[in-house]
Amino acid sequence: MKFKDLLTGFIRLHILHHAAEHEIYGQWMIEELARHGYRLSPGTLYPLLHGMERKGYLRSRKEHPGRTARTLYRATPLGRKGLALAKSRVLEFTGEAMKD
């Protein structure tokens, strides 16, 4: 993905946004991000999810609906707090950036 280094922050915020609303899983998140123009492979998304979990922004649980397990992710209180802060910073930035 072109400009990956600039856009990964938006991807993380997008993940937190949805994980604060409801449980998410990797394939659903890949499809959701694709709807917004982000093309991520599982090899890119899953390390992001695991890193966000290690940092305390997400928690996960395993679900076994059939033969395969699915890992579901949800935002933690720390993740929700970080999302709220990021939203205020994004509003501040877009207000400034869109003046031109």
Pick the CATH number of 14-98 from 1.10.10.10, 3.60.130.10, 3.40.50.300, 1.10.260.40: 1.10.10.10
pLDDT tens-digit profile, the chain (100 residues): 577 777 788 999 999 999 999 999 999 999 999 999 999 999 999 999 999 999 999 999 998 877 888 999 999 999 999 999 999 998 898 888 887 6
Tokens 């649980």 locate to 61
Distances 75 to 1, 12, 33, 95 between C-alpha atoms, Å: 26, 11, 17, 27
Amino acid at 57: Y
Rounded percentage of the chain residues whose pLDDT exceeds 90: 69
pLDDT for 100 equals 64
Q: pTM here?
A: 0.88
What pLDDT is recorded for position 13? 94
Please report, as a single letter, which amino acid is at residue 96: E
The contacts of residue 4 (CB under 8 Å, 6+ apart) are none
